Amino acid sequence: MTDTVVRFGVVGAGSVSVRGLLPHLSQPDLHDRLRLVAVCDPAPGRAEAAAAKFGCQYAFTDYSDMLAAGVVDAITIATPIGLHYEQGKMALDAGVHIHFNKTMTTTAAEATDLIERAATRGLKMVASPGEMLRPHNQRVKELIAAGAIGTLCWAACGAAFGRYHEEERVRGGADPLSNIDPTWYYRKPGGGPLYDMTVYSLHALTGILGPAKRVTAMSGVRLREREFAGKMHPVDADDNTLILIDFGDNLFALAYGTPAGRLTEGFAGSYFGTAGSIVGRKLNGEPFDYPGRDEAATHSQGDQILLPHVVGVHRDIEEQHVWEDIMQLVDWIRDDTPTIVTAEHARHVIEIIEAAYRAADTGQVQELATTF
């Protein structure tokens, strides 16, 4: 471990940043490892307000200006998903390490380009969500491998979009830090439940079962308008998608991203075998044990408090799982120990999503080319 203090910047002072990333990164217990020095957002007054509230030295409205200033060693990109690829390229070309909020890019080709650029420049990238850092997902993988449910036959995972983002506490106010518009989630590229929510369960599913081989899907826009702040907004990003995933040897899974309803327990998957099932955090209907389970059950943030860096004050700040992924990058920069929260895993999940949309458009099964 070195004594390097990483100069950190936040790109995008939207909901995830205001509620979670900026509060985490500005805590004094981190000053031996990182300093939050810059925030960037083009919305009028937002970067300045965030910098004042969270103690950043620099506030930028132009991303190019932030990179050109040379004041950051690493950034977290927390902008709308459709912007991540171009912003990632610019950061790597400027010699800056990156944490990507989910999802890293919208296509596997974009992800590959970023991975290759980072390798060429000797830079580090971590791409959320780091679902396999969670103890319950590690335990599910162990249970399946040990034959606890016999021969695994199929699995299911997914999420429903609902109105989650529209009702976040930073949406309905009058100042720049509380009037954050969520309507980009309704638009291509990068909108819709797959890139934003199903991505969590796909990271866990593939982390537990390994890389997938091929996919097919049906997908489209079910709700063509959505209401926010008293106005109706058109939707062009697919919001209703069912994916069939082939893991090889006739092991299949169903993944979904929908406007409403669920088949599974939160973002946790369901796994069905010849001798039983794992549904959420239950083995054959009974809770299974994993490190920290009882402690997590008593905390409002649940299993997020079991992540390695979520200690002290960080247990009571929102978005602990994203904060954990950022700290995976910081540790990697400082001591050169790679993380399991890899860009390669993120690329594989992105390819599943991209291929699902292509399968729905063409009616053809799509072979997958990536692995991790």
Dihedral angle over CA of 202, 132, 292, 306, nearest 10: -100
Residue with tokens 């950034």: 75
Claim to verify: residue 159 and residue 273 sit in the same structural domain: yes
User: For the chain, how many structural domains are there in total?
Assistant: 2
- Chain centre to alpha carbon of residue 201: 10
Does 73 fall in a domain? yes
Claim to verify: residue 54 and residue 192 sit in the same structural domain: no
Does 1 fall in a domain? no
pLDDT at 1: 55
Does 353 fall in a domain? yes
Domain CATH code at residue 253: 3.30.360.10
Rounded-to-integer distance, Cα 28 and Cα 32, Å: 9
pLDDT at 163: 85
How many Cα atoms sit within 13 Å of 240 on the Cβ side? Answer: 9
Claim to verify: residue 353 and residue 331 sit in the same structural domain: no
Does 239 fall in a domain? yes
pLDDT at 112: 98
pLDDT at 268: 95
Three-point CA angle 227, 233, 239, nearest 5°: 85
Domain CATH code at residue 26: 3.40.50.720
Does 244 fall in a domain? yes
Residue with tokens 């929102």: 318
pLDDT at 2: 77
How do the pLDDT tens digits run along the chain, 372 residues long?
A: 578 999 999 999 999 999 999 999 999 999 999 999 999 999 999 999 999 999 999 999 999 999 999 999 999 999 999 999 999 999 999 999 999 999 999 999 999 999 999 999 999 999 999 999 999 999 999 999 999 999 999 999 999 988 879 999 999 999 999 999 999 999 999 999 999 999 999 999 999 999 999 999 999 999 999 999 999 999 999 999 999 999 999 999 999 999 999 999 989 999 999 999 999 999 999 999 999 999 999 999 999 999 999 999 999 999 999 999 999 999 999 999 899 999 999 999 999 999 999 999 999 999 999 999
Claim to verify: residue 66 and residue 117 sit in the same structural domain: yes
Q: Which of 356, 307, 295 is nearest to 129 (CA)?
A: 307
pTM: 0.97
Claim to verify: residue 149 and residue 99 sit in the same structural domain: no
Does 109 fall in a domain? yes
Does 372 fall in a domain? no
Q: Cβ(143)–Cβ(278) under 8 Å?
A: yes
Three-point CA angle 89, 348, 182, nearest 5°: 65
The boundaries of the domain holding residue 77 are: 6-130+309-341
Claim to verify: residue 60 and residue 176 sit in the same structural domain: no
Claim to verify: residue 302 and residue 196 sit in the same structural domain: yes
Claim to verify: residue 148 and residue 265 sit in the same structural domain: yes
Claim to verify: residue 169 and residue 280 sit in the same structural domain: yes
Rounded-to-integer distance, Cα 202 and Cα 129, Å: 10
Does 44 fall in a domain? yes
Claim to verify: residue 48 and residue 178 sit in the same structural domain: no
